[in-house]
Structure 1
Amino acid sequence: MGGTTGRYILLPLMIISTASRIVFSLATDTLLPSQSLRDGQTLVSANKTFEFGFFSPGSSTNRYVGIWYHKVQKQTLVWVANRDNAIADKSGVLMFDDNNGDLILLDGRGSPSVLAYGLGTNNSEATILDSGNLVLRSSDNTSMVSWQSFDHPTDTFLPGMKLGLNRRQNRLLTSWKSKDDPARGDFALGLDPSGKPEFLIWKKGTPYWTSGDWDGEIFSLISEMALNDIYFFEFVSDQHELYFTYSIKDDSIVSRLIIGISGQIQQMTWVENQTSWVMFWAQPRTQCDVYELCGAFGVCNEARLPTGCECLPGFQPASLQDWSEGNTGGGCLRKTSLQCESGEKPDKFVEMPHVMFNEDATKLDVSDAKDCESACYKHCNCTAYAFSGGCSLWHGDLVNLQQVDGGENITTGTLYIRVADSESQGAQVSEPKISSDHKGKKRKVLQITASVAASLTLLLSCSLVCFLWIRKRRSKGTKKSHEEKSLLALVNHLPIKIGEGDRAAEFLLYHFSDIEKATFNFSAENKLGEGGFGPVYKGQLPEGQEIAVKRLSARSGQGLLEFSNEIILIAKLQHRNLVRLLGYCIQGEEKLLVYEYMPNKSLDFFLFDPTRGALLDWSKRAHIIEGIAQGLLYLHKHSRLRVIHRDLKASNILLDADMNPKISDFGMARIFGSNETQANTNRVVGTYGYMAPEYASQGQFSIKSDVFSFGVLLMEIVTGKRSAGFQQYGGNALNLLGHAWELWKAGQWSELMDPSLGDGCPAWEVSRCIHVALMCVQENAGDRPTMSDVVAMLGNESVALADPKQPAFFTVATATEAEHASMLAANCSLNDMTITTPEGRYYSCPVRQVTCAVTECLKRLFGLTCDQLEEPLTSEERCFKNALFLLVPK
């Protein structure tokens, strides 16, 4: 972990010494500095209420560290320390770091992870309290608490805990991933981050339930809170904190509030004589209000308990085993693929009455049900329609459907679901309503369409074969290029029928003509900007949705490899701080990517402009920093793919209407396997100034490469200056990082702040951001923190920060001489570099290579010019020669 690596140089000795440590009574509630806790040993609170130790949840064999009720017969977990970092066996040991008093967890290989941060001394102790709170405090003065588990809740809200905002940290409850896996799930409960006194439940970052406002006694939409004589509720709001807490009137009552894996929060009470937990109240109240309870193409009906879920006509459970166990969130799949008018038996529409529709519909202005159905029938990805006071069309997966028994009312209607002809037997079918003047031509149209399609398919196949043959001839028998292989793979996997059983394809294949119309033929007025890949245009689809279209230029360094990479990655990654890809288009030489439109453009649009930069006050910048960090943490740790972005920079951070940051441009990203930590490449891509030294010089990249880029970006956000614009800095510094390092060493970090921020910034937050940024840009990748560490350090003032080491890069000017810049570009592209050059010309070199290469170069340069260097030179020497050529007079 960043900032703590140096503490564990003597870990083997620490592990060996563990055997000689005191084996203490399991009845104790405190782990002392000289003690360790092995798997199988536990701490028990003074009144025997809670227990702390190692456990395995459900049928899992993984080991975790957590807290559970000691007196409750059925083991009930209330907190998990290493929920995202399980130990595979019973080799785990808890112990204190001798230098800093951190509570660390060692696995069988001796790999450490910090569970709780101490006071920076070696006299820390850990105590499990009768409240269920694990505290780290000084053994000399127990009132000095450095860390407590109540500040880091998992899925359980215990009496006495504070749920809410503490400075910029929002203490949330987060559901388990499954009953056997305590890793972070899809649901979170917490106070509205805007400071409004109400609770929200989020599903994958999207809010879908609210408690209503606090009225002084209860939350307005949780009326059950007023009907009890068990709890005391308190809502506290002051300049430091905004939180909700509760207590129990009778200490003998055991109660907890949890957020379940399905997203429903429940207040539970333990009934001793029944040896079970009884639910006092739950929200959302009805089971069918739980977000995506039945998954895609499932419908919920409260009258059909216990599950309440069933599949739509023509569909079946995606996993029969999961459904039999009551886990219906995986949804349903089609029994038979749609025909989409390509066969002799066209698709049908099956009626389902009394359905409460979700809000994801596309509204059309048509006069009757016949036109509404025809509009849906024309598009293969239209999965359902309804005509009730207007025409509504649904595309892709149908989610959050509810069916209400008892007849039609103003909130329900009849939903017409598209199914294959073979699945319509025995169901109430609505034939596609084709107007009479078209019915007589239908068969002929189908025959012609089939003939044309067959001809086009044959022509496309022949063209593709010829294209590849010509390319092969031109390459004189060499192997297929990466682009040809990508082309073949992409053509073979194009989702011709979007939404037909392929639930992973949550994006659309657009026609080029539709994109042309949406962007007014790629007019200059609609152009948003241009990067190394090509121009970006604003567009508007017929249904009114605004889009941004990236049009890859033929001159772009990005090809089909990056194009397909971005499609595959973004389609599988869903996070509120990642840009959303809506679809793509391939036609001839045209390669287009269609994104959600970001009205506030990119971060660099505001950050580096003196006028617009003033619009970014500190609260907005802190919000942007947090969002970028959370997005990177998701990519590195919490997504189903482990992704290294490799081109994180200000221009790749887009801002939505509420100034929420969205990481974009995944064309250069790489997927890591779960066991991979580092990889090498012969093709270095990215942007000078943001690239980690081990990546720029040796082609080695890892999650720490992104951490370096984040550090540069963080420094830019605080200062409002480009990292590459070295001319604006005084002293000996030649770039922003060097300038920041000089001021940091001199204790003058406040001079780094963007002047437009004024004097109202919290000094500790700004100082902490600069400190974290310097930790992120250290030369040795092992010294840099992970994004998990970064998020913890930025959000918690009590987390101790290690002293940063000198930044990795210095920057050498290329002045304004075009020939020198050209020479640098030609001679200094190591490992087939593909580089995006920001404003200002410069050249960056790793510090250690400067030491070993330039020193020798200067010896040979003494009294000479760079032109007098002897050949042959290594690539590194040639780079430094060209850089030094700009500094030494001729």
Structure 2
Amino acid sequence: MLVFTYLWLWTSSCIQVKAANHTLKPGDSLNGTNQLCSENGYYCIGFVEQLGGLSYLTIISNIKNNTWEVWIANRNEPIFNNSGLLSLDQSGVLKIESQGGKPIILYSPPPQSTNNNSILATLLDIGNFVVQQLHPNGSTKSVLWQSFDYPTDCLLPGMKLGVNHKTGQNWSLVSWVSESFPGPGSFRLEWEPREHELIMRRQEQVIWKSGKLINNRFFEHIPEESQHIYQYNQVSNDDEDYFTFTTPNTKEPTKWALFETGELTGSEGKEIAGADMCYGYNNDRGCQKWKIPTCRNPGDVFESREGYPNTFGNDTSIEPNKSYGIGDCQASCWSKCSCVGFKSYDDSGGTGCIFFFGKTLDGVTLVSVGQKFNMLVPKPQHKGTNKWIWIGAAIATFLLIICSAILCLAIMKRKYMLKDKRRMETETQGLADSDGSTGVKDLEDNFSKGHDFKVFSYASVKEATTNFSSKNQLGEGGFGPVYKGVLPTGREVAVKRLAKTSGQGTVEFKNELMLICELQHMNLVKLLGCCIHGQERMLIYEYMPNKSLDFFLFDDTRSKLLDWQKRFNIIEGLSHGLLYLHKYSRLKIIHRDLKASNILLDENMNPKISDFGMARIFTQHQTIVNTNKIVGTYGYMSPEYVMEGSFSTKSDVYSYGVLLLEIVSGRMNNSSCDAADQLLNLVGHAWELWNDGVCLELMDPSLNDTFVLEEVHKCIHIGLLCVEHYAKDRPDMSDIISMLTNKTAPVTMPRRPAFYVGRQMGERGRSSKSIESNTFYTKEISDSSELESR
């Protein structure tokens, strides 16, 4: 209570730097009598003096007069005599100085940095104190440092819990030692990315877990009424793993606060976690079990009392260690069999411990008031031989009933398993190849060896998709509709239902099963299982919430959501996915149908290559294969494949080049471009602009000023190299990745691309059709000369 009273006095008496002055410019400083407030006054930063005369640079929430310390810069290095000074010097260094103390450097620009006059330190209305560099027009160029990367004991909307794999930065909450001493205490809240849950440690002991995050909405062991206002988000990739939350109303005071007792509270003080009630024997509300002393019994708890006990007949001992918080005192007393209570040793700072040993404190006389201590309340132990006899008999009877029930269930389960096995064999019988080779039953046996693959029942898929409701339909692929489904576990999936009249027969279906189950890469879509029911064949994939690339790229409104950084990340992700297929997977794979509609986007707009129905497996020594069946999508197929039926990894490179030009321009390759009285496709148009030295005119106008000039120019250059006429002249995927990541421009200059002159195709709309389903190519092509004549 003293702390909050002091905060109120501080926010009332300090001179506030408001509105336009929410920023420190080079040469500005902030002393102990001033505070800097965000633009709308939601948060203020300044030096706060705690009990004991120590002061700390602190961010205080000031929303609806709800004062709360949400971040401390120097919790390990307090300042004496309120002599603190926060400054941003002319060289761009943000630091805390004090009389007789060493400077505390919060941020220092790199040695080679020259333009430090554009560096500002700003307190944002979300409570984030940032050091940012500005463009000449005043817009933010980059964030160089932010307080959100160094959380203390409060988690605000947008702050992260997790780890940055690139820098090794760990984002976690650490409690105060006590309510008036902000040094790092004994409780730490972390994000566990493998299990997708929050965990709390006391020292190194895991004492509480939130349980898994279900549907990104609720944690298993957090009260539902404490979660309903939060929107959770979790991110996991090669660069970082983290959890964060947001709230719909940014003007409401929202935070998670980790107290020195191990309590974690949220909005309006509602409990998120109560680790102070975790003793090792209980697992309610997320508490974890661990080995407890033999002298402690399940049900023993500590209860808070007010006053100092008359300890006549009891021994006392003192632990004066200032780093001991109340949680450490409780853990230490719990581990000592003769300890019956404890309290803080230093009441002014709340650190250190006093332990009471010997008799119970229950019923002792209190010799003072206003002080708090914690008393062990043992669980009552009842004695009585007859009672235990009755309990033993009841347990034995119960076990007999349970064993009988288990035996009956086992017999019934075996009966139903045999019935299901016969049904499954009947359903999969029709899926054998026409030549009698391996069927799906054999594939099922193979998948069970090291693959997380499941054969779903038809009933479960119908239930997941609400009987294939049109409201659940995500789109219409070349081989049938795709539906969104929700499994009983809450997991969202995409169900690809193959049309009975589709061009994908048994061979293609098994091909896609075999291929995707062998492939494991972050830029490839994951196949979870399949469903076989009579003539029905379905593939169940992981659900991609942002649909496919063409959904955004070729729409005038949604394309604005794809800024240049997102597009370049998609280009890089696709190159890594293709390189894996061509070189590093267990099987050498040629996709043969790479296009925007087959690139799915996850919740973070990361690309995943999908639809392997047309893919082909190469041996490691094969480079080129010929076929008399041409399949693919008009505009993405390489000339040697269209004209001669010859395909290789360079065929995928050609498709990648077309896709790269589409990503840069925001236009489909099949769309027409008028130039010099001739109708050009996108590839031809890009070549014309390159020859005229104005290739940047190809860029999507919706990118505005988000693009990086050198990267756009490089991507157009690489795209034209990929669509060259002869396969041998195109780069392979490893060369493409090298060119993308290298800061210098590609050395090789592009030559005239294949299919330079476009055809009079008419208005084709925004969708891309596969050759086998396109009215222009309705006949299956068995001779390359037939295709060429068209």
TM-score (structure 1 length as normaliser): 0.44
| Greater Cα radius of gyration, structure 1 or 2 | 2
Higher RCO, Cα 8 Å, sep 6+: 1
TM-score (structure 2 length as normaliser): 0.49
